[in-house]
Amino acid sequence: MMTRTLSLALLLPTLSLVAAGCDKDDAGPVASAGDSASDGEEGEETEGFPGESDTDTDGGETDGGETDGGGATSDGTDDSQPDPKPQPKPDAAEPCAEEYSAECTTENGLDGDSYCIMVDGEEFWTECMATVECWPGDGYDYGCMGEICYWDGENFKRHSWSEPDCNTPLVVNFEREPLRFEAGAAAAFDINGVGECLSTDWPTLPWLALDRDGNGVIDSGRELFGSGTVLASGDRADHGFTALRELDADGDGKITAADPAFAELVLWSDLDGDRRGELRELVPVAEVDLVAIDLNYDRLVECDDRGNCGAERSAFEFRDASGLVRSGEIVDVYLPCQ
C-alpha cells in the first residue's frame, strides 16, 4: 500500500476559484463545479478538492451475488449459470387528469379516500381506502434506477429498482457543489470490476479509492467504494456506504484515523483522462486534512439527462487551510453504461 505523502500543489498545477453554486441540500453559498456538464461538452473540469479547480480535460453492471465474475460464489453456487431474469417493472399508477381523489367512508366506518387512476385508457375509481402506501404519481423513474407507485388491482404499492447497469462509486464533495459529469472518454475503465461495463460518464469530483492490490494504481471499480467492491463475505456491495462500512474497525459509525485503513484511503482525480489512477493523481486523505466520514447516510436522488444520479449522501469533516473544521458531502453516484 502507498505510504507516501503527496502535495496538492504538484497534483493540481493550475488552481482557481470558481463561482458559487447552490445544492438543494445546502442553503449557503458553495463553489461551482466548473464548466464541465452532463451534456458531454469538452471543457474545464473541476476535481473537487477544497476550493480548487483543475483545467485538465477528461473526456455497470453490478450483481450483488457475484464475486469475481466467474467460478463459485460465497454460498457455493456456480455463477457461470445465467442469472434469472428480473420481474418486469410494473406500470406507474397514472392519476386522472382532473380531480383524482374524493373523501369517503370505508366499510368499517373509517374516513378514507377513493382515487381515480387511468386503467387501459379509461378512468377507474378505487374502493374507499383508509390508508395507502403511496399515491398515484409519486416517485421517480431515471431509467436504471427509480421508485414508482403502482396499482396491483387492490392497493397502491411502491416498486423500487436499481438495474445491473447502475454502477455506484463514492465521490467526495468538499464544497457541496452540484454534481456534474463529463461524457465518457475513449479510454476504458472497468467500473464494475468484471469487465461488463467499460464506459460511463465521469464525475468532476474525485473518487474515494483504496489500492487494494498494492500495485500503486487504481485500475478498476474494485478499488473504488461501490457496487464494484467485493465484500469480505464474497458478495458485492449494494452501494458505496456498504463497502466503506467494512473499514470501520472500531464500530463507531465513522471512518477516522482510529481505523487502520484510513491511512490508505486516497482521492483520485483522473487528470489526464486515461482512466488509470496513477501516483501523481492519488492524494492521501490525510493530505487534505480529512478528519472523519460519517457512515450514516440519507437518500436524495438527483439525476441529469444522461441518467447519471447522486443518491445516498453523508457528511464528512475536514480542516481547511485556516485550521477550521468544515463539513463536506460524500455521495454515492449511479452511473449507467454509455
For 176-223, what is each residue's pLDDT tens digit? 999 999 886 667 888 877 777 888 899 999 999 999 999 999 999 899
Number of alpha carbons in the 13 Å side-chain half-sphere of residue 37: 6
Cα–Cα distances in Å, from 314 out to 82, 226, 234?
A: 35, 14, 25
For residue 24, is it within any domain? yes
Are 189 and 313 found together in one domain?
yes
Q: Which residue has the higher pLDDT, 159 or 124?
A: 124
What residues contact 293, with CB distance under 8 A and at least 6 apart?
A: 244, 254, 255, 256, 314, 316, 330
List the domain range (segments joined by +) for residue 284: 10-61+165-336
Average pLDDT over residues 29-33: 34
Rounded Cα distance, 50 and 8, in Å: 10
Rounded Cα distance, 157 and 117, in Å: 14
For residue 70, is it within any domain? no
For residue 54, is it within any domain? yes
Are 204 and 57 found together in one domain?
yes
Rounded Cα distance, 63 and 168, in Å: 12
Are 254 and 331 found together in one domain?
yes
Average pLDDT over residues 54-62: 37
The pLDDT-based confidence of 32 (bands split at 50, 70, 90) is very low
For residue 234, is it within any domain? yes
Question: Does residue 236 surpass a pLDDT of 50?
Answer: yes
Are 181 and 281 found together in one domain?
yes
Are 147 and 291 found together in one domain?
no
For residue 83, is it within any domain? no
pLDDT at 162: 64
Which of 142, 162, 182 marks a domain boundary? 162
For residue 74, give the C-alpha cell.
460465497
Rounded Cα distance, 243 and 237, in Å: 5
pLDDT digits (tens, 9 = 90+) for 127-151: 999 999 998 988 876 666 677 899 9
Question: Does residue 325 surpass a pLDDT of 80?
Answer: yes
Are 43 and 170 found together in one domain?
yes
Q: Can you list the pairs that 7-10 forms with residues at least 24 positions away whose Cβ atoms lie under 8 Å?
A: 7/287, 8/49, 8/52, 8/283, 8/287, 8/288, 10/280
Question: Does residue 316 surpass a pLDDT of 90?
Answer: yes
Q: Which residue has the higher pLDDT, 87 or 283?
A: 283
Question: Does residue 42 surpass a pLDDT of 50?
Answer: no
Which of 138, 162, 186 marks a domain boundary? 162
Rounded Cα distance, 271 and 48, in Å: 12
Are 297 and 228 found together in one domain?
yes
Q: Which of 74-83, 201-210, 232-241 has the least mean pLDDT? A: 74-83
Are 177 and 124 found together in one domain?
no
Q: What does pLDDT average to over the chain? A: 77
Average pLDDT over residues 160-181: 85
The count of domains in the chain is 2
Are 129 and 250 found together in one domain?
no
pLDDT at 164: 58
Strand partners, 320: none
For residue 281, is it within any domain? yes
Strand partners, 157: 150
Strand partners, 171: 207, 331
Rounded Cα distance, 53 and 46, in Å: 5
Which of 115, 147, 162 marks a domain boundary? 162
pLDDT digits (tens, 9 = 90+) for 247-306: 999 999 999 999 999 999 999 999 998 899 999 999 999 999 999 999 999 989 888 988
Are 318 and 270 found together in one domain?
yes
Are 178 and 132 found together in one domain?
no
For residue 42, is it within any domain? yes
pLDDT at 28: 38
For residue 96, is it within any domain? no
pLDDT at 59: 35
> pTM of this prediction?
0.58
Is residue 128 within 8 A of residue 105, CB to CB? The reply is yes
Average pLDDT over residues 312-327: 96
Number of alpha carbons in the 13 Å side-chain half-sphere of residue 238: 5
Is residue 226 within 8 A of residue 213, CB to CB? The reply is no
pLDDT at 163: 63
Are 297 and 213 found together in one domain?
yes
